[in-house]
Structure 1
């Protein structure tokens, strides 16, 4: 039962963690460098892709629909290009970091893996 809960609620947990990190940053509370600079980059794609999948499921009235891997890769590439290439060239607030790109793709792979695992788990019941 606890495994089902993890698969079902990872999205809420990820949102909570991202919100806590963002709040600490806004309050100028020191965080370890890894958390400060990179955790939200990993969490970004699972959160974004979950929301996209939720919307598509509602639009198509298909609660079992899963986003295909090529689409996940295109969306992740779009985020990578926008946040790590375009914005750093146009806004001083942003810096380009290839580790962030790797973390976007790791987050996307996590989303892909966990959503497939959820689908298999619920198909067995």
Structure 2
């Protein structure tokens, strides 16, 4: 299962990289993908990276972000990128659908990590 989560994490970063390059090269993508795919991936990528760092530095390979921490991250991103930064810079545009994408991405991250942890625990108990 650990290998699956690593593959999923790397694959998500590759998708984000392709989206970033496509935008820089001005490659036309479908509307939803060009506008919202990065927002859907933002929370899982950031929390995945934070989780990897915390697992390494807390020496706890079973460390997991709680639902409250995931909700906090979604709220933080929403406030920062959709309310605060757009009021200070024209580089940022406030879009309520982005907020929805942050929370959907956070929910997916939370449920996938919970599923993988529960499956790992079930597999560990069946081996005993």
TM range (shorter): over 0.9
Gaps of 5+ in 1: none
CA deviation string 1:82-108 (max 9, x = no partner) = 101111111111110010000000000
CA deviation string 1:26-48 (max 9, x = no partner) = 00111111111000100000000
Matches within 5 A, 1:90-101: 90-101=88-99
Aligned residue in 1 for 2:40: 42
Matches within 5 A, 1:1-125: 6-123=4-121, 124-125=123-124
The structure number with the bigger radius of gyration is 2
Count of paired positions = 123
Distance 2:103 2:12 in 1: 16
4+ runs deviating over 2 angstroms: 3-8
TM-score scaled to structure 2, two decimals? 0.90
Gaps of 5+ in 2: none
TM-score scaled to structure 1, two decimals? 0.92
